Homo-oligomer: A and B are copies of this chain.
Amino acid sequence: MPKISEKGQRMPASPIRKLTPYADKAKQDGKKVYHLNIGQPDIATPEGMLNAIKNIDFKVWAYTPSEGTLSYRKKLTEYYNKLDYNITPEDIIVTTGGSEAITIAMMACLDSGDEVIIPEPFYANYNGFASQGDVVVKPILSYIDNGFALPPISEFEKLITHKTRAIIICNPNNPTGYLYSKEEMEALKQLVLKHDLYLFSDEAYREFCYDGRSFISPMHMDGLEENVVILDTVSKRYSACGARLGCLITKNKELRATALKFAQARLSAGMVEQIAGEAAVDTPDRYFEAVNKEYTSRRNTLVSALNKMDGVYCPNPGGAFYVVAKLPIDNADKFCQWMLECFSLNNETVMMAPATGFYSTPGAGLNEVRMAYVLNNNELEKAMICLDEALKVYPGRTVSSEQLSVGSL
């Protein structure tokens, strides 16, 4: 039998999806599973976007230009320039989801053995995309105690070598929900300029900033034109994860030309998606206002319920629709699997993503889980009651000094 590649053997399984067989089994056994493990919102996709699909009137479902249709790129330019990105359609390459924007950016900027620095916990699939290109991820720990703020720049400086090519940030952050401040972004700017690095800015959750806080993109900062690559997707913005439509934006012309060669190899992004994406840009503001209000309320429900539980701590994040919470448990992977396999309350249980998969430092995140607040308040409340009860009886519960009362477990 021919052998699997070493790359394939090293490739990590998705921490978000690897527990799926246990969830499937739980459902087969008749349990209701609250899915907080994956960023698949329950929010309706804007009607204008869905109507654009229903109203297609072409006869041939054809390739589009590799960089995306001009029509869609023009419309996207409208969207971004309302946010003061100051771009033209030539700065955009339309991609198959944000995933492809990340892989193309990595391939265009990093060779085998090159290093990318990423504050951790980070979006787990960055590990996968780095593995694909034999790129080395250098993680920098951020800490739950300060809400996963950007680590000090001195920590970045310590990791920079002649092989360092790029820094990736995800803002607002998946998995932590942390929203980077203007000061943090300014510090990153000075760092990438000093060391001539790329700054990959994954802005999938740009629309999800709470409590009146502003989103700062590196596109808002002068002097970074050659360094910045924006990685974007319609998945979360319009609750259209299954559209697989994203884009890469850069003002660096050489990089754009290189990225286009990778885009040409795979020929085209989806045609129907680009038609729908064009319609999506006209989504009325009230859609986003309603969504923002809903997510703010859910975040409050979740954070408040979590912090009321014995031994649990959850920061109150400024954006995205995730929280990372610290639980009084020995091992998040074991706990999340146990929730699906061994626990139920009124025949219900909760699926969460073990935070370990979002760290690349071995052993980090062992007592943390990521939860996506993609269910309504009522379901979230029930899920939190379920989690609270589960924590009380979990055999691997770690008992801190404050929790001697549950020492009998």
Interface residues of A (CB under 8 A from B): 1-2, 4-9, 11-14, 17, 20, 38, 40-45, 49-50, 53-56, 58-66, 96-97, 99-100, 103, 107-112, 114, 125, 128-129, 132-134, 165-166, 196-198, 226-227, 238-244, 252, 254-255, 258-259, 261-262, 264-273
Q: How far is the CB of A345 from chain B (nearest CB, A)?
A: 27
Q: Which residue of B lies closest to A125 (CB)?
A: B265
Q: Which residue of B lies closest to A265 (CB)?
A: B128
A-B contact pairs, 20 of them (CB 8 A): A1-B252, A2-B226, A5-B107, A5-B109, A8-B109, A9-B258, A11-B261, A13-B261, A14-B265, A41-B60, A42-B60, A43-B60, A54-B55, A54-B56, A63-B241, A97-B268, A99-B265, A132-B262, A241-B267, A244-B269
Q: Which residue of B lies closest to A254 (CB)?
A: B4
- Determine the distance from Cα of A58 to Cα of B271 in the docked complex, in whole angstroms: 19
Q: Which residue of B lies closest to A64 (CB)?
A: B242
Query: Contacts of A252 on B, CB cut-off 8 Å?
Result: 1
Query: Given that A50-B61, A112-B134 are known contacts, is A270 also in contact with B244, CB under 8 Å in the complex?
Result: yes
A66 touches B14 (CB 8 A): yes
- Determine the distance from Cα of A44 to Cα of B58 in the docked complex, in whole angstroms: 9
Query: Contacts of A198 on B, CB cut-off 8 Å?
Result: 2
Which 3 interchain pairs have the tightest Cβ spacing?
Answer: A242-B271, A128-B265, A14-B264
Q: Which residue of B lies closest to A9 (CB)?
A: B258
Q: Which residue of B lies closest to A109 (CB)?
A: B5
B49 touches A61 (CB 8 A): yes
Q: Which residue of B lies closest to A269 (CB)?
A: B244
Q: How far is the CB of A143 from chain B (nearest CB, A)?
A: 27
- Determine the distance from Cα of A108 to Cα of B187 in the docked complex, in whole angstroms: 39
**With contacts A2-B165, A8-B259, A53-B56 known, what are 13 further pairs, Cβ within 8 A?**
A1-B227, A7-B108, A7-B112, A11-B107, A11-B262, A11-B265, A14-B66, A45-B60, A54-B54, A62-B242, A97-B266, A99-B266, A270-B273
B62 touches A262 (CB 8 A): no
Q: Which residue of B lies closest to A124 (CB)?
A: B265
Q: CB < 8 Å: which of B4, B58, B107, B129 contacts A255? A: B4
Query: Contacts of A265 on B, CB cut-off 8 Å?
Result: 11, 14, 99, 125, 128-129, 132
- Determine the distance from Cα of A227 to Cα of B231 in the docked complex, in whole angstroms: 37
B264 touches A2 (CB 8 A): no
B1 touches A196 (CB 8 A): yes
- Determine the distance from Cα of A2 to Cα of B167 in the docked complex, in whole angstroms: 12
